[in-house]
Amino acid sequence: MAEGDGLRPFDRTTLVLFEDLSGRAVEELYVLTGADGALELRQTPQGEIVFVAFTSFTRLATSCGAGQPHARPSFAELERVVEAIRPTVLVGLDVWLPEGHRYPEPDPRAQEPLERIEEVPAGDGRVWIPSRPVRKGDRTVMAELHPDESGKPLLCVYTSLDALRQSCGPYQAAAAIEADSIEQVADESGARGVAINPVLAEEARHTGVVQDWSR
């Protein structure tokens, strides 16, 4: 990567093949979507399909603006999209978006800060976390992380399913985990911290049920 902001020009010489990315690398990407949550696809003059992704929220916000819709899909989710549109799928990784900032910046007054805390409120031993959509045949459920004000990904934990729905919206997929496994789940998901019962800003909430990244 380049020094400074780490962003590169968006041209054919800086694009990489999706198949050259490891599964672990993909799991850590912030991928651009449309306002409806669907993966945003582009096309090169040669007819190759491209999606744009970033290795940090800070780089995404620098290139596209903090209001840019995005998601952190699993490797399996992106693989399904790639399989449907092969033979060649490229990734614009950490690039300057040609159109620049296309979406209005989030209003800080409307956002609840995600605070790191050390303890989980006592309950029946089970808590709820936002998850990525699960399809029939999936063997694992993956946590959906949300960045704090500095761009660090946090695992959001809720003391009840009702609290999660009220804080994340009605379209948020969710999963129950044991409270004593929070640290392990946060570590395995790549979270840099934990927030208990945070209220997500409207811009961070799903506006519809996300079932298939290929649509």
| Percentage of the chain modeled with pLDDT above 90 | 13
Q: For the CA atoms of the chain, what is the radius of gyration?
A: 17
Q: What is the pLDDT of residues 92-150, one digit of tens each?
A: 999 999 888 888 776 544 444 444 444 455 456 789 999 887 665 556 678 888 888 77
Beta pairing, strands 49-54 & 70-71: unpaired
Residues 164, 128 contacting (CB under 8 angstroms): yes
Position 110 scores a pLDDT of 47
Residues 189, 143 contacting (CB under 8 angstroms): yes
Q: What is the dihedral of CA 51, 75, 5, 48, to 10 degrees?
A: -20
**pLDDT at 211 > cutoff 60:** no
Amino acid residing at 41: L
Position 35 scores a pLDDT of 79
pTM: predicted TM-score of the whole model, two decimal places: 0.51
**pLDDT at 215 > cutoff 80:** no
